[in-house]
Amino acid sequence: MTVEARADRPGRTVAARNLFRDRPVIPLTVLLAVLVAVIELADPGIVNPNWVSVVVRQTVPLAILAGCQVLTMLTGGIDLSVGAVASMAGFVSATLVNGWGLPAAIAVPLAVAALAGLITGIGVGLFRVHPLIMTLGISFVVLGLSNVWQLQMVQTGAGVAPALRTLGSATLFDLVPLSFLVFVPVMLLIILSLRRTGYGRLLYAIGDNPVAARLSGAKSWQVLIVLYTISALLAGIAGLLLSGLTNTASVALADSSLLPSVAAAVIGGTSIMGGRGGYGGAIVGALILTVLSALLTVLGLPEASRQVVFGAIIVAVAAAYTRVTDQA
């Protein structure tokens, strides 16, 4: 909106709007830069390569979870199970690594996550259960079963695999987070799939107009089953990274990331109504949320006011999108 306010001629206003609508990454990056500038002003010297590295490392799991929301929201859905699935993955991994070794501690949780996603996909795709409800129900099931697993595992104890700790929190040359080894391929895969593959086109098509997609020959159940499996798999990966980053194994590890993941996708310009959006914006959205959080801490505001500001920003950004995209 700041861009728009400066525009004095209608032509330029329209151009600014189109930029915001079609390439939200650019104005969002400007907003991110402003936030970084403010945090530097508030606490001179805080912004250094080390700080940037910390922020990026913290953002990686959230950005992956935001990817789950972008993909599902493009089809007009949402994935409320990412919190439970990510927590489950991190927790199960931690309980397995001592007995079964690292490969199993990575493969088993991801397989369980994919299974949960498959069930979600079948519910949404074949049985046409509303995604909100289906993923909500699955999150109840996953959380409950994680708790049962936790009771079974009390004797054996749990600890995050050292390899995951390194992957989640270490850096290369004190600068590049090692989690980029996972994140960069994931990011490229999502962005390229959305832009240049038939599957990506179908996600947009189903979200924009399911009837038209069907009449054009798209079998949405196939697309949705694959989609929710991918989403749960991504959530599982995010959970492993998160457990490595925080060095905790808890069945509630990622619960607090659920709503921010939706928020990051919304700020990044993905419409919850489907058919519009992209992953690039969501990554910047996740960065904005992390930096904003850091800024509020620097300003000495309590957790309470941080939440209030969070909420206000989401409404404001979403309102700005609605304004520019509704222009006929």
Partner 1 sequence: MTATPARVERVHVRPADLLTSWARRNLWMLGLLALLVFLLALTKFIQPTYGAIALQGLGTSVLPLALAAVAQAIVVISGGIDLSIGSMMALTSVVAATAMDGQSEQFGVLVVAGVLFLGLVLGAINGGLVVATGVPDIVVTLAMSFVWAGSALLVRERPGGGASTWLGNLVVGPLGIDWVPKAVVVLIVIVAVIWIPISRSRFGLSTYAIGSSRLAAFRSGVPVGRTKVLAYALTGLFAALAGLSLTASTSIGSPVPGPYTLESVAAVVLGGVSLAGGRGGVFGPMVAVVILQLIGTDLTFLNVDPNIAFVAQGVILIAVLMSARVVEVWRTRA
Partner 2 sequence: MTLTATDLLLEATGVSKTYGAVIALRSASLAVRPGEVHALMGANGAGKSTLVKILTGAVHPDSGRIVVRGRERMVHSPGEARRSGLVSVYQEPALIPDLDIRSNLRLTDTPVEPFRHWLHELGLEDIDLSSLARGMPLASLRIIDLARALAIEPDVLMLDEMTAALPANLTERVLAVVASQKGGDRSIIFISHRLIEIAAVCDRATVLREGETVGIVDVTKGSEDRIVELMLGEMVASTPAVAERTAAATRARDARPRLTARGLASGTKLHDVSFDLYPGEVLGVVSLEGQGQDELFDILAGAVRPSGGELQVDGAPASFHHPADAIRAGLVYVAADRAEALLMQRSVRENIALPSSTPPQRWGPIDLRRERIVVDTAVARLQIDARAGGEVRRLSGGNQQKVTIARWVAGGVRTMLCFDPTRGIDIRTKQQIYVLLRDLAEAGASVLLYTSELKEVQLVCDRAIVIFGGRVVAQIAGADADEPSLLRAAYNLRADAVLPEDIAAAAAAEGAAPGAASPAAAARTEPGA
Instruction: Give the residues lining the site for partner 1 (CB under 8 A).
Output: 78, 80, 123, 127-130, 132-134, 136-141, 143-145, 147-148, 151, 259, 262-263, 266, 271-273, 302-312, 314-315, 318-319, 321-323, 326
Q: Toward partner 2, which CB reaches closer, 205 or 264?
A: 205
Residue 226 CA from chain centroid, whole number: 18
Q: Toward partner 1, which CB reaches closer, 143 or 161?
A: 143
C-alpha–C-alpha distance, residues 53 and 174, integer Å = 8
Give the nearest distance from C-beta 197 to partner 2 in angstroms: 5
Core vs surface per residue 91-110: b (16+ CB within 10 A) or e: bbbbbbbeeeeeeebbebbb
Q: Is 280 exposed, middle or buried (0-12, 13-18, 19+ CB in 10 A)?
A: buried
For residue 144, the partner it binds in partner 2, partner 1, none, with Cβ less than 5 to 8 A by kind, is partner 1
Asked whether position 14 contacts partner 2 by CB under 8 A, the answer is yes
Strand partners, 172: 176
- Pick from 205, 224, 241, 320: which binds partner 2 (CB under 8 A)? 205
Q: How far apart are the first and last CA of the chain?
A: 18
124 with 72: CB under 8 angstroms? no
Give the nearest distance from C-beta 16 to partner 1 in angstroms: 19
Instruction: Give me 296's structure tokens.
Output: 């509020």
- Per-residue binding string, partner 2, 274-293, x by CB under 8 A, is -xx-----------------
Q: What is the largest CA-CA distance in the chain?
A: 70
Q: Toward partner 2, which CB reaches closer, 122 or 299?
A: 122
Q: Toward partner 2, which CB reaches closer, 154 or 328?
A: 328
Asked whether position 318 contacts partner 2 by CB under 8 A, the answer is no
For residue 16, the partner it binds in partner 2, partner 1, none, with Cβ less than 5 to 8 A by kind, is none
85 with 235: CB under 8 angstroms? yes
Give the nearest distance from C-beta 189 to partner 1 in angstroms: 26
Instruction: Give me 260's structure tokens.
Output: 């921010």
